[in-house]
């Protein structure tokens, strides 16, 4: 049973080592959308402000907003990276975060080894990863390359590997920053099918995107973030 509930949730970052607020930065703030404030001599960026959000199984939420509006921070808060600085946060169900699938790929390790590393970090046990490895290799279509160091891969191959690992587990809550689309025409088709499959099996989807068309296609709920605040769409 998947559930997400945010009540008056705020997230603010202290920014160290950035000097004091200057005119330049104040101007930048009005352009980039973050809200700069001052607190005990340290710059504080109020990334999320008073967010209220209730999601239950079957909800597909699209997050719109320009760069720096707080989309990624909201996704990371939902993933449990940032503990909110204020407010109530309740989350039930397993989470798969596809925020940045190629993060943590070791270039000197082979494809197979990277599957193990990523799998463990995604919360699987060694046994589970070993059980899934053959299927992941098969899906990635990398053939013999899975035994080669990842630094020898082309960008497309790297993306395929990352995609295949990240989408190999089923979770109740799926967090995504932009739709994952990778590789050549043939793989894109396969990947698209897999994405649809993963999304349809998940209870809740939260998808941040710059594309209103994509969100209109995939989501049944839409919110817009502006300067870290939720604006109904």
Partner 1 sequence: MSQAHSNLHRSAWADWWEGTRRTDIWWTLAWFDIVLRYRRSMLGPLWLTLSMGAMIAGMGPLYSSLFGTNLSKFFPHLTLGLIFWGLFSAMVTEGCNAFIGSAHYLKQGYFPISLFVWRSMSRNLIQFLHQIVLYIPVALWAGISLSWSALLVIPAFLLLLINAHAIGLVLGLVCTRFRDVTQIVTSLMQMLMFLTPVFWMPESLPGRARYILWNPFAQMLDLLRTPLMGGTATLHSWLGILGWTAGSLVIATLLFAKYRRRVVYWL
Residue ranges that bind partner 1, judged by CB under 8 A: 8-9, 13-14, 16-17, 76, 79-92, 95, 97, 99-100, 103-104, 106, 108-109, 113, 116-117, 120-123, 125-126, 149
Residue with smaller CB distance to partner 1, 129 or 215: 129
Q: 78 or 198: whose CB is closer to partner 1?
A: 78
Closest approach of Cβ 184 to partner 1, in Å? 27
The pairing of strands 229-232 and 3-15 is: unpaired
- 140-148 long-range contacts, Cβ below 8 Å, gap at least 24? 140/111, 140/164, 141/187, 141/190, 142/111, 145/111, 146/110, 146/111, 146/112, 146/115, 147/110, 147/111, 147/112, 148/110, 148/111
Nearer to partner 1, 7 or 194 (CB): 7
Asked whether the beta carbons of 56 and 93 are under 8 A apart, the reply is: no
Q: Is the dihedral of CA 174, 176, 182, 186 positive or negative?
A: positive
Give phi and psi for 8, each to the nearest 5: 50, 45
Residue 84 or 141 with smaller CB distance to partner 1: 84
Burial tier of 166 (Cβ tally within 10 Å: 0-12, 13-18, 19+): buried
**Shortest gap between Cβ of 122 and partner 1 (angstroms)?**
8
Name the minimum Å distance from CB 31 to partner 1.
Answer: 24
* Closest CB to partner 1 among residues 47, 61: 47
Handedness of CA 196, 200, 205, 210 (dihedral sign): positive
CB of 12 to partner 1, least distance (A): 9
Q: Which is nearer to partner 1, 93 or 141 (CB)?
A: 93
As measured in angstroms, the least distance from the Cβ of 87 to partner 1 is 6
Q: How far is the CB of 1 from partner 1 (least distance, A)?
A: 13
């Amino acid at each position: 049973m998947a559930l997400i509930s945010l009540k008056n949730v705020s997230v603010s970052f202290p920014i160290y080592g950035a000097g004091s607020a200057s005119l330049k930065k104040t101007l930048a703030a009005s352009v980039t959308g973050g809200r700069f404030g001052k607190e005990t001599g340290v710059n504080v960026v109020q990334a999320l402000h008073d967010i209220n959000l209730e999601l239950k199984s079957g909800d597909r939420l699209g997050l719109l907003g320009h760069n720096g509006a707080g989309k990624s921070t909201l996704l990371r808060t939902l993933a449990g990276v940032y503990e909110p600085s204020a407010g109530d946060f309740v989350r039930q169900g397993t989470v798969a975060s596809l925020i940045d699938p190629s993060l943590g790929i070791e270039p000197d390790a082979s494809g197979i080894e990277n599957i193990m590393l990523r799998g463990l970090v995604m919360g699987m046990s060694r046994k589970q990863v070993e059980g899934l490895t053959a299927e992941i290799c098969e899906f990635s279509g990398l053939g013999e390359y899975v035994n080669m160091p990842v630094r020898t891969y082309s960008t497309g191959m790297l993306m395929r590997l990352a995609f295949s690992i990240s989408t190999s587990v089923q979770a109740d809550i799926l967090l995504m920053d932009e739709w994952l689309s990778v590789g050549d025409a043939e793989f894109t088709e396969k990947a698209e099918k897999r994405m649809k499959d993963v999304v349809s099996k998940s209870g809740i989807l939260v998808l941040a995107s710059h594309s209103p068309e994509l969100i209109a296609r995939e989501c049944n709920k839409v919110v817009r973030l502006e300067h870290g605040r939720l604006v109904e769409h």
